[in-house]
């Protein structure tokens, strides 16, 4: 294991994505946040919806994941925000070391 995880969430605007990303970086809970515009299809309140969203992909140290999840939930506008954690099992050792340094 690399000691690095990727945490993914979605928000409803570019402004919300940038605000969340800046807060994550300023708190050193993530080394990098990539913001990607997407379209999501899902069921909510018994209705199938299609909405524009912005996906935030956060690279962080695995030891910071719990604090990052708390931060995302506290600064999110959704009732039930998506927060998915994926462990990184390998990659560029120099990049993974940088992620660890930025989040310690």
Across 3-68, the runs of DSSP E, i.e. the strands, are: 4-11, 32-44, 47-61
Which of 74, 55, 63 is closest to 30 using CA atoms? 63
Spell out the domain ranges in the chain.
4-102
pLDDT of residue 1: 61
pLDDT of residue 2: 80
- The topology under which CATH files domain 4-102 is Alpha-Beta Plaits (3.30.70)
pTM of the model: 0.94
Strand, helix or coil at 30? coil
Which of 42, 36, 40, 32 is closest to 14 using CA atoms? 36
pLDDT of residue 21: 98
Q: Report, as ranges of residue numbers, the positions in the chain whose pLDDT lies below 50.
A: none
């Amino acid at each position: 294991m690399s000691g690095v995880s990727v945490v993914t969430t979605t928000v409803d605007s570019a402004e919300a994505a940038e605000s969340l990303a800046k807060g994550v970086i300023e708190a050193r809970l993530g080394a990098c946040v990539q913001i990607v515009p997407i379209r999501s299809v899902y069921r909510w309140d018994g209705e199938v919806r299609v909405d524009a969203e912005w996906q935030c992909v956060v690279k962080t140290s695995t030891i910071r994941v719990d604090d990052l999840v708390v931060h995302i939930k506290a600064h999110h506008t959704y009732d039930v925000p998506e927060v998915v954690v994926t462990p990184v099992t390998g990659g560029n050792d120099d990049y993974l070391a940088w992620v660890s340094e930025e989040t310690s």
